[in-house]
Amino acid sequence: MIAETYAVIWYLLVGVLLAGYAVLDGFDLGVGGLHLLARGDRDRRVFLNAIGPFWDGNQVWLVTGGGALFAAFPHVYATAFSGFYVAFILLLFMLIFRGVSIHVRSLRAGAAWRSFWDWAFSVSSLLASLLIGVALGNVAWGVPLTAGFRYQGDLWQQIHPYTVLTGLLVVAMFLMHGAIYLVLKTEGELNARVRTWVRPTIIAFIMLYVVVTMATLLYLPHMADPFREQPLLFLLPAFSVLAIANIPREVHHGREFRAFLSSAVAMLLLLALFGVGMFPELIHARPDPALSMTLHNAASSTKTLQTMLIMAAIGMPLVVAYTFHIYRVFQGKVKLDSMSY
């Protein structure tokens, strides 16, 4: 029973870390996706410096989430990363390119240099978002696990209509989040242009949201089971629709920060929906769901989960406190100065 409780707690905590990653790195990945739409060097520098102080810390949520997955559910870590080998290696390359391009892009003046790193930044941001979405889609759709959680993955089998849709959903979600973030950080003419990007990204997000939800209900009925059992859970999608609908309203009234918060809430609710649908599975197995990896059969020992919980209880409040403080120091519109990217 105690073992069960700790496994459930870590299921939630890994989810919280990955949701933290989505909400925080999501906006800077989105800014990356929109980067090439900025015309002219100055506007592009504004974009880079809008995320400049934050992207690095945001990415740590992924690194820590990966570490927590390794420690709490080593089998899931092992099966997922080796099974999605090519996809994850590509994701790693994208993350390397992204980090380097943000930092080095403005260090030299040449037009070719800057244009190369602009493209590297934008393409790697889009592809990284897509790959994350494809991976999530596969986890939900199910992969052919055999006994012992062995999964001989193949990139071309991992890309099919459902996972492409979840990939595009994540791209659209991050673009929406990034566009709203840019509204928050830019001013003047650029701000006026950025505002026009909010609506199309929201529309793309909602359309994909609807399509993916329908596909999930049709093809992955097991994801809907928890909702049938506990109808109160339908409040999650209801609130998420309300949060999305609230975004254009807040933008219209010039309450940019509240628009950004709405977008964050909408994303969190969507991820919660995903988590509830998956629970207690971590990787769905098909064709035989009995072979699925769950928090019961793939977790670490209770001793390890307890130890980790103590570490998280000491460390994470500190992290949240100083992260919050750092965001406050850099709040407001972007101003370029001699230390900027």
Partner 1 sequence: MDVVLLSRVQFALTIGFHYIYPPLSIGLGLVLVIMEGLYLKTGLAIYHQLARFWVRIFGLIFAFGVGTGIVMEFQFGTNWAQYARYVGDVFGSPLAAEGIFAFFLESGFLALLLFGWDRISKRMHFFATCMVCLGAHFSAIWIIVANSWMQTPAGYHIVETAIGPRAELTSFWAAVLNPSTLDRLWHTVMGAWQAGAFFVISVGAYYLLRRQHLEFAKTSMRVAFVVAMVASLAQLVSGHDSAVTVAAHQPAKLAAFEGVYETGPRADLTIAGWVDETNRTVRGVKIPDLLSWLVGFDAATVVKGLNEWPESDRPPVQLSFQLYHLMVAIGMTLILLAWGGGLLAWRGWLFERRWLLWIYVFAVLLPQISNQVGWAAAEIGRQPWIVYGLMRTADGVSDNISAGNVLFSLILFTLIYLALLVVFLVLLDQKIKHGPRVEDMPRTGEVVS
Site residues for partner 1 per CB under 8 A: 52-54, 56-57, 59-60, 62-68, 70-72, 74-75, 77-83, 85-86, 88-89, 92-93, 95-100, 102-104, 107-108, 148-153, 297, 300-301, 303-304, 307-308, 311-312, 315-316, 319, 322-323, 326, 329-330, 337-340
Least distance CB 86 / partner 1 (angstroms): 6
Element (H, E) at 109: none
Please report where in the chains the tokens 């859970």 appear, as a residue. Answer: 233
Q: What are phi and psi of 146, to 5 degrees?
A: -115, 180
Dihedral sign (CA 302, 303, 309, 312): negative
Asked if 128 contacts 178 with a C-beta cutoff of 8 angstroms, the reply is no
CA distance 248 to 206: 13
- Please count the residues of the chain: 341
Least distance CB 9 / partner 1 (angstroms): 14
Question: Based on CB atoms, which residue is closest to partner 1, 200 or 315?
Answer: 315
Question: Based on CB atoms, which residue is closest to partner 1, 272 or 319?
Answer: 319
Question: Based on CB atoms, which residue is closest to partner 1, 125 or 262?
Answer: 125
Least distance CB 314 / partner 1 (angstroms): 8
Least distance CB 115 / partner 1 (angstroms): 15
Question: Based on CB atoms, which residue is closest to partner 1, 52 or 178?
Answer: 52
Q: How far apart are the first and last CA of the chain?
A: 52
Least distance CB 51 / partner 1 (angstroms): 11
Six token digits for residue 176 = 């929406």
Asked if 86 contacts 4 with a C-beta cutoff of 8 angstroms, the reply is no
CA distance 9 to 306: 10
Q: Is 150 helix (H, G, I), strand (E, B) or coil?
A: strand
Least distance CB 239 / partner 1 (angstroms): 29
CA distance 197 to 90: 28
Question: Based on CB atoms, which residue is closest to partner 1, 219 or 327?
Answer: 327
Question: Based on CB atoms, which residue is closest to partner 1, 230 or 301?
Answer: 301
Closest CA to 36 of 116, 148, 110, 144: 116
Least distance CB 73 / partner 1 (angstroms): 8
Question: Based on CB atoms, which residue is closest to partner 1, 66 or 248?
Answer: 66
